[in-house]
Amino acid sequence: MRATQFFLNTLKEAPADAEVISHQLMMRAGMIKRLAGGIYTYMPVGLRSIRKVENIVREEMNRAGALELLMPAVQPAELWQESGRWEKYGPELLRLKDRHDRDFVIGPTHEEVITDVVRKEVKSYRQLPLNLYQIQTKFRDEIRPRFGVMRGREFVMKDAYSFDRTQEAALKTYDVMYDAYRRIFTRLGLNFRAVNADTGSIGGNRSHEFHVIADTGEDAIAYCPSSDYAANVELAEAVCTAQRPAASKAIDKVHTPGNSTCEAVAAQLGLPLTATVKSVVFANEWLDKNETKPAKKVQIVLALVRGDHEVNDIKLGKLTGVQELRLATEAEIVAAFGTQPGYLGPVGLKGEVRVVADRSVAAMGDFVCGANAADYHYAGVNWGRDLPEPEVADIRNVVEGDPSPDGKGVLAMCRGIEVGHVFYLGTKYSEALQAKFLDENGKPAVIEMGCYGIGVTRILGAAIEQNFDDRGIIWPLSIAPFEVVLCPIGYKKSEEVKAQADKLYQMLKDAGVDVMLDDRDERPGVMFADWELIGVPLRVTLGDRGLKEGKVEFQSRDGKVEKRDVEVGEIFEQLRVELASRQVSL
Ligand code: ATP
Ligand code: MG
pLDDT band at 261, cuts 50/70/90? very high
Integer-rounded Cα radius of gyration of the chain: 30
Q: How do the residues of the chain divide into helix, strand and coil, expressed in percent and rounded to 5?
A: 30, 30, 40
Average the pLDDT over 15-27 and give the result: 95
Residue 94, pLDDT > 70, answer yes
pLDDT band at 286, cuts 50/70/90? confident
Q: What is the pLDDT of residue 352?
A: 86
Q: What is the pLDDT of residue 458?
A: 98
Angle at 510 between CA 505 and CA 511, to 5 degrees: 100
Residue 220, pLDDT > 70, answer yes
- Residues 349-381 have pLDDT tens digits of 977 899 999 999 999 999 999 999 999 999 999
Residue 202, pLDDT > 70, answer no
The three-state (H, E, C) secondary structure of 156-179, written as one string: EEEEEEEEECCHHHHHHHHHHHHH
Q: Is residue 211 in contact with ligand 1, taking CB distance under 6 Å?
A: no
pLDDT band at 200, cuts 50/70/90? low
- Residues 170-185 have pLDDT tens digits of 999 999 999 999 999 9
- Residues 504-536 have pLDDT tens digits of 999 999 999 999 999 999 999 999 999 999 999
pLDDT band at 291, cuts 50/70/90? low
Q: How far is the CA of 231 from the centre of ligand 1 (A)?
A: 17
Q: What are phi and psi of 497, to 5 degrees?
A: -60, -45
Give Cα separations from 296 to 285, 290, 291, 299 (angstroms): 7, 11, 11, 10
Give the whole-angstrom CA distance, residue 244 versus residue 511: 70
Q: Is residue 538 in contact with ligand 1, taking CB distance under 6 Å?
A: no
Residue 199, pLDDT > 70, answer no
Q: What percent of the chain has pLDDT over 70?
A: 98
Q: How far is the CA of 462 from the centre of ligand 2 (A)?
A: 15
Atom of ligand 1 nearest to the CA of 209: 18
Q: What is the pLDDT of residue 288?
A: 77
Residue 322, pLDDT > 60, answer no
Give the whole-angstrom CA distance, residue 456 versus residue 479: 11
Residue 262, pLDDT > 60, answer yes
Most confident option among 231-240, 282-291, 481-490: 481-490
Q: How far is the CA of 417 from the centre of ligand 1 (A)?
A: 10
What is the pLDDT of the chain when averaged over all its residues? 95
Atom of ligand 1 nearest to the CA of 152: 28
Model pTM? 0.87
Q: Is residue 157 in contact with ligand 1, taking CB distance under 6 Å?
A: yes
Q: What is the pLDDT of residue 325?
A: 86
pLDDT band at 51, cuts 50/70/90? very high
